[in-house]
Amino acid sequence: MRREMLAWAGCGDLWKRRSAILCQLGFKRDTDLGLLYACIEPALGSKEFFLRKAIGWALRQYARTDPEGVRRYVGEHADRLSGLSRREATKHLG
């Protein structure tokens, strides 16, 4: 799955890019963070609503498992994450 999702994350198809970001939503502690971040990376500067929303959603889901890790990621990428992605990612972090 990893190789295919990395290919999707960098392709021109919006829905494949979104799917690559969201592919691990239910994995919890089994989330491959390297894959998650690698799939998010190509979309960080995107103005596309569905990609911005997917980034926030994926990070918000992972925050249920590792809230400090998501806080750290959001802080480290604050200059590149859209407001929507940041809000979604930190929605339940308080």
Q: What is the pLDDT of residue 77?
A: 97
Write out pLDDT tens, residues 22-60. Answer: 999 999 999 999 999 999 999 999 999 999 999 999 999
Q: What is the pLDDT of residue 38?
A: 98
Token pair recorded at residue 19: 């799917």
Residue 83: partners with Cβ closer than 8 Å, 6 or more residues away? none
Angle between helices 67-76 and 49-63 (to 10 degrees): 140
Q: What is the pLDDT of residue 94?
A: 78
Write out pLDDT tens, residues 4-21. Answer: 999 999 999 999 999 999
The whole-angstrom separation of Cα 65 and Cα 63 is 5
Per the confidence metrics, is the pTM higher than 0.85?
yes
| Complete domains list, the chain, with CATH | 2-90 (1.25.10.90)
